[in-house]
Amino acid sequence: MIDVKINDGIAVMTLAHGKANALDLDFCDALTTRFAELRTSAAKAVVLTGQGKMFSAGVDLKRLNDGGADYIAKFLPALHRLYDAVFFFPKPVVAAINGHAIAGGAVLAACADRRIMARDGGRIGVTELLVGVPFPALAFEIVRFAVPPRYVAEFTLGAATYATDVALHKGWIDEVAEPGDLMTRALAAAQSLAALSPAAFAQTKKQIRQAVTERIAQSGQATDKAVTEIWTAPETLGFIRDYVAKTLKKS
């Protein structure tokens, strides 16, 4: 499910959960646990990547469809815990985006301090509204934090995905690397950030993210209550079911 190897003091975490690295309850909990372990480990930084042509396809809609409202009520808090663990991780995190990063997978990449994507390796974007679900509070704040303000509405309401060069131009990613150079560039970026004072880096990262912390404290609970009601509503479950059936038919 998750492979972690230490490369010259950098923890390389490779997602290996099925073909799509789709985020389900178990996968979210496992990733959260790994990041919790790495907080107190000797690793100086983390490089997060996937296998093959997929970084992460986002939320496992088939599990949502099969599990219904009861599963969703358990899943959304687990998704929040995952994003919280990665976004507020005190050490440097570099996303080596090897392939598609869609919906919740794009949000996971956006949690990183630096995002490097393999050229023509896949597409990136948040497609939640195509599925009929709104963004959980922290997921939305992470997107708002990570991308240029002028593109927030386009990215979220437009629900489009972008090829690497356009993603770089519009700020979804920080750098494009040739596929064979992706991990070399990601490790170099991680080492560069890890060379800084750990205490100074952690405090500065905390300050950079302070606005997110404050907004979540102020309105996150109310937002997530409204979001959960929409995600678990019968009409939303029907929308998800139709979307899953349509997507499976295309595949």
pLDDT value of residue 103: 98
Quote the tokens at residue 103: 């919906």
In this prediction, residues 240-251 reach a mean pLDDT of 80
Instruction: Please indicate, yes or no, whether the overall pTM of this predicted structure exceeds 0.95.
Output: yes
- Between CA 142 and CA 140 the distance in angstroms is 5
The C-alpha angle with vertex 106 and arms to 117 and 97, in degrees rounded to 5, equals 20
Q: Which tokens belong to 130?
A: 């195509």
102 touches 108 (CB < 8 A): no
Percent of the chain topping pLDDT 70: 98
pLDDT surpasses 60 at 251:
no
Q: Which amino acid is at 166?
A: V
Model pLDDT for residues 74-112, shown as the tens digit of each residue: 999 999 999 999 999 999 999 999 999 999 999 999 999
Q: CA 208, CA 69: separation in Å to the nearest integer? A: 36
How sure is the predictor about 1, in pLDDT bands with cuts at 50, 70 and 90? confident
Q: What is the pLDDT of residue 249?
A: 64
pLDDT at 250: 66
Q: Specify the residue for token string 């358990």.
A: 74
DSSP secondary structure letters along 80-111: HHHHHHHHT-SS-EEEEE-SEEETHHHHHHHT
Section 151-166 average pLDDT: 98
Determine phi and psi for 23, rounding to 5 degrees.
Answer: -85, 110
The residue from 37, 128, 175, 214 that is catalytic is 128
Does residue 79 contact residue 105 with C-beta atoms inside 8 Å?
no
For the question of residue 128 being annotated catalytic, the response is yes
CATH of domain 2-179: 3.90.226.10
For tokens 């099969």, name the residue.
Answer: 66
Looking at residue 165, its pLDDT comes to 97
Exposure on the CB side of residue 175, measured as CA atoms within 13 A: 19
* Angle ∠(79,206,137) on CA atoms, nearest 5: 30
pLDDT digits 0-9 by tens, 190-241? 999 999 999 999 999 999 999 999 999 999 999 999 999 999 999 999 999 9
pLDDT 10s digits, 55-74: 999 999 999 999 999 999 99
Contact 116, 177 (CB under 8 A): yes
134-156 per-position pLDDT tens digit: 999 999 999 999 999 999 999 99
The reported pLDDT for the residue numbered 149 is 98
Delimit the domains of the chain by residue range: 2-179
